[in-house]
Amino acid sequence: MLAKLTNRQIIAENTLSATFSLNEVADFLPGQFAVIALVNPPYHDEKGSERYFSINNSPNHNRDITISTRLHEPIEDGSAFKRSLNEIPLGTEVEIKNIGGSFTLPKNQIKPLTFITGGIGITPFMSMLRYIHENDLDYALSMFYFNRTQASTAFLDELQRLGQEIRNFNLVLIMTDDNSWTGEKEKVTSELIKKYLPNWTDNTFMTSGPPAMVNGVSQTLKDMGVTRDNIVTESFSGY
Based on the fold, state whether residues 131 and 171 are members of the same structural domain: yes
Could you list the residue range(s) of the whole structural domain that residue 164 is in? 113-235
Q: Do 29 and 83 lie in a common domain?
A: yes
For residue 51, the model assigns a pLDDT of: 95
Q: How many residues does the chain have?
A: 239
Q: What percent of the chain has pLDDT over 70?
A: 98
User: Rounded to whole angstroms, how far apart are CA atoms 57 and 67?
Assistant: 8
Same structural domain for residues 194 and 221? yes
Comparing C-alpha atoms, which of 32, 29, 53, 27 is closest to residue 101?
32
Rounded Cα gap, residues 225 and 222, in angstroms: 5
Residues 49, 158 share a domain: no
- Single residue among 100, 130, 148 that ends a domain in this structure: 100
CB-hemisphere CA count at 13 Å for 122?
27
Asked whether the predicted pLDDT for residue 238 surpasses 70, the reply is no
CATH code for the domain in which residue 33 is found: 2.40.30.10
54 by DSSP, 3-state: which?
strand
SS (H, E, C) 155-200: CHHHHHHHHHHCCCEEEEEEECCCCCCCCECCCCCHHHHHHHCCCH
Residue 216 lies in a domain: yes
Strand partners, 9: 17
Residue 239 pLDDT class (50, 70, 90 cuts): very low
Q: Where are the beta strands (DSSP E) in the chain?
A: 2-12, 15-22, 33-38, 50-54, 64-70, 93-100, 113-118, 141-147, 169-175, 204-209, 231-235
Q: Give the total number of structural domains in the chain.
A: 2
CA torsion, ordered 5, 208, 82, 97, to nearest 10 deg = -50
Q: Are residues 92 and 132 in the same domain?
A: no
pLDDT at res. 74: 72
* Whole-prediction pTM: 0.95
pLDDT in tens, 11-56: 999 999 999 999 999 999 999 999 999 999 999 999 899 999 999 9
